[in-house]
Amino acid sequence: MVARTVVTATQCSRDEAVERLNAYHAEVLSTNWADYLNLVYSSPFWEAEYERLHTMVGPYLHEKEVGDKWTKTQEMMDVLYQCEDLRDFLNELSEMKTRGSGFMGTGFKPAPKIENIDELAKDCATQYNHLLETHPAFKPKIEQTAGHGLAVLRSKHKFGFADGAPAGLREIGQEIAKMCVQKMLELECPNLLEHDQNRSIAYGHTWSPVYELTPKPVPMHHGHAISVDMAFSATWAAKEGWISEAVRDRVHAQFRRAGLSLHHDCFTTEKLHYGTKTILERRDGDLYAAVPNGQIGKCRFIGKKDFASRADMDASLEAALDLHRQLMAAEGGGVGTEPYITDGFNRTRKTVSKLELGTWAERMTEMLEEMKDSQSFETVKTKVAQITRWWDLTAEYLEKNSTKLGDAVQKVIKASTTENPFPAGMDMNWALDVQSAQTLDFFAGVQKGKVAWDLGTLTGVSAAVLSQHMKVTTVEREETLVKFARKHLPENVDVVQSEIEAFLQEKAAKGEKADFIFMDLDKPMYAGCYKLVMENGLLSPGGIMLCDNVLYRGLTAQHNAGEMPKVSEKTAANAASMDGFLGLVRADTAAKKVRSLMMPVRDGMLALQMPQAASAAPQIANKGYPVQA
């Protein structure tokens, strides 16, 4: 008696079976089925695993989830085998077609030709369509294998002379090709160094280079790219009156009958202006765009001289592209037959956009680079609007994802808006912004000190923030701002009317210290106040000082690099003062007198911390851990 195989749920749990099934389905489906070598290596392992899975999932097939997944897996393997068989046959036909042309296509020692290639190609196409209709869920994989194989076969077969063609067709075709080559040589040979930019052979090559390789996931064939350029040029010529609409439509019709593309979404307004910019750089500063002139067979060359200004030329091109899109939409689209490169193209290339792989700062740099390449005012406006919106969204997101400011702070902000306490020459823009206030709130909360000095009260936002964590003394010299602060700040805030340096000298004389200092001062005062704090030890050990506006519109970095833009004398002096202050901080940081961190919060914030007071070494237990008190 032959032993019967017994399968029970105890040999393989449901979770294990489902996990193995899902992993198998994902592995096979994600593999490139057109990679013949990969299939040769992987198929034996897939088949063995398929048999094991059949046994493992058997006890659970009555469950809908497991049963449906197993059905999909069975269909997947069925489609894989059918695609593999069809692709193998297509590869064989392509190879025999190549060998039939002789050694390196020279006709020397050719292999026997396939007499019924048209019939076999039609049979393959029928099978391909049948697969698509029967298994629509696997369309990408069917196209990846059978579709690609058909494309390769057509590229090898369709440019030949069909069997049964009318007598003399071959001779006529060869004569036309000879005439075309002859004319090209006549035009190009005297101008090999391109000293003359009026080149009719450049028709179709003005804008096509900038969009030819951009369609995803694969680029366009060169012929389709230049036919889009040619068709657009005809539309532009008709719009400007260089040819009639009838001639334009005749040009378009010829391309459409040939299966060539007349338009593609990759030819955007941005690419149009970028192409104009690059071709001006390559063609001695002018466009030299070849377009039909009155009739087919004659050519004229368009440049800046044909327009009142460069801006007018850009506007004309942009309007022509809009019109071209409308014409193509009315005619059912502009994409031709087989416009994309498929044979020999590596589909694993990765995008380099910082949207896919980059940081926030790198994305900002990339967007500014894109704006730099804009060649029309409208495109620049669009780019600026996009960057502005992106920046505003980021600012809102930063605020939304940080701790909300407390009630005392909200009260001061509201009162600042309604009462407008600012002296002449100042307004709400001088007040501490929300992001900076949230940053101050976080550092003050981390410090957990008892005494804070707020140097520069203004409306009192910073003092209100600090009051949520410690006892605060805020210092302001403007009487109106002092009155406003005393009216609206909490009771644990002492508002002092004084010059900042005098206040610090008084504290030094009394030997007092602060656990936290916030500085938001006139720019020339930063260095002097910082020296008073450091030389008199006004900041406690481990104490934190937070300084606002240290980037000062980016001018401090530019001043330090010797690249100051032209600004007012006062602004230049402020930038120099801030750079001098930051130089002092760098020196103290290098000497380990402080630890420092500069942050790109709004106009820049600098955090400084004094070294912690020395403490006795902790007792160490036998196992190396500190002894608990």
- Spatial separation of the C-alpha atoms in residues 502 and 336, rounded to whole Å: 80
Show Cβ contacts of residue 56 under 8 Å, excluding neighbours closer than 6 positions.
12, 16, 17, 20, 21
Q: What percent of the chain has a predicted confidence (pLDDT) above 70?
A: 86
Question: What's the DSSP call for residue 591?
Answer: T
**Mind listing the pLDDT tens digit for each residue in 10-60?**
467 888 888 999 999 988 888 888 777 778 888 888 888 888 888 888 888
Check residue 342 and give its pLDDT: 59
CATH architecture, domain 196-330: Up-down Bundle (1.20)
| Beta partners for residue 40, in sequence order | none
Is 219:325 a contact under the CB 8 Å cutoff?
no
Amino acid at 264: H
Amino acid at 443: F
> How confident is the model over 256-275, as a mean pLDDT?
91
Is 211:191 a contact under the CB 8 Å cutoff?
no
- Whether 446 shows a pLDDT value over 50: the answer reads yes
CA dihedral 151, 156, 162, 163 (to 10 degrees): -110
- Whether 326 shows a pLDDT value over 50: the answer reads yes
> How confident is the model over 503-508, as a mean pLDDT?
96
Show Cβ contacts of residue 210 under 8 Å, excluding neighbours closer than 6 positions.
271, 274, 275, 278
- Spatial separation of the C-alpha atoms in residues 93 and 236, rounded to whole Å: 44
Closest of 555, 551, 553, 507 to residue 529, by C-alpha: 507
CA dihedral 409, 411, 414, 418 (to 10 degrees): -130
What tokens does 575 get? 């930038």
**Mind listing the pLDDT tens digit for each residue in 353-394?**
677 778 888 888 888 887 776 655 666 778 888 889 988 898
Q: Where are the domains of the chain?
A: 14-157, 196-330, 360-400, 407-609
- Whether 7 shows a pLDDT value over 70: the answer reads no
- Spatial separation of the C-alpha atoms in residues 333 and 266, rounded to whole Å: 13
- Spatial separation of the C-alpha atoms in residues 31 and 384, rounded to whole Å: 43
What tokens does 341 get? 């490169």
- Spatial separation of the C-alpha atoms in residues 436 and 601, rounded to whole Å: 6
Report residue 570's pLDDT band, with 50, 70 and 90 as the boundaries: very high
- Whether 73 shows a pLDDT value over 50: the answer reads yes
**Mind listing the pLDDT tens digit for each residue in 210-233?**
888 887 666 888 889 999 999 999
Check residue 5 and give its pLDDT: 44
Residue pointed to by tokens 């914030």: 605
What tokens does 566 get? 């032209």
> How confident is the model over 538-552, as a mean pLDDT?
95
Check residue 614 and give its pLDDT: 64
- Whether 278 shows a pLDDT value over 80: the answer reads yes
Lowest average pLDDT, out of 196-200, 289-293, 453-457, goes to 196-200
Biggest alpha carbon–alpha carbon distance for the chain: 114
| Beta partners for residue 497, in sequence order | 476
pLDDT higher at 487 or 340 = 487
| Beta partners for residue 474, in sequence order | 454, 495
> How confident is the model over 229-248, as a mean pLDDT?
94
Angle between helices 526-535 and 569-590 (to 10 degrees): 20
> How confident is the model over 533-553, as a mean pLDDT?
95
> How confident is the model over 475-493, as a mean pLDDT?
93
Arithmetic mean of pLDDT over the chain: 84
> How confident is the model over 471-484, as a mean pLDDT?
93
Check residue 359 and give its pLDDT: 86
- Whether 110 shows a pLDDT value over 90: the answer reads no
Give, for 526, the enclosing helix (H) or strand (E). helix 526-535
Phi, then psi, of 278 in degrees rounded to 5: -70, -35
CATH of domain 407-609: 3.40.50.150
> How confident is the model over 248-265, as a mean pLDDT?
91
Cis status, amide bond into 59, omega within 30 of 0: no
Is 342:148 a contact under the CB 8 Å cutoff?
yes
Question: What's the DSSP call for residue 471?
Answer: E
**Mind listing the pLDDT tens digit for each residue in 92-103?**
777 776 666 655
- Spatial separation of the C-alpha atoms in residues 388 and 258, rounded to whole Å: 46
3-state secondary structure 217-278: CCCECHHHHHHHHHHHHHHHHHHCCCCCHHHHHHHHHHHHHCCCCCCCCCCCHHHHHHHHHH
Q: Of 227-231, 420-424, 622-626, which has the strongest mean pLDDT?
A: 227-231
Beta strands, E only, 485-588: 493-497, 514-519, 539-548
Check residue 98 and give its pLDDT: 66
Check residue 547 and give its pLDDT: 96
- Spatial separation of the C-alpha atoms in residues 46 and 396, rounded to whole Å: 51
Residues across the chain: 629
- Spatial separation of the C-alpha atoms in residues 92 and 144, rounded to whole Å: 17
Report residue 324's pLDDT band, with 50, 70 and 90 as the boundaries: very high
Give, for 184, the enclosing helix (H) or strand (E). helix 169-188
Distance of CA 91 to the CA centre of its chain: 38
- Whether 272 shows a pLDDT value over 60: the answer reads yes
- Which strand ranges, in their side-by-side order, compose the sheet holding 595-599? 493-497, 471-476, 451-455, 514-519, 539-548, 605-609, 595-599
> How confident is the model over 237-263, as a mean pLDDT?
92
Is 215:264 a contact under the CB 8 Å cutoff?
yes
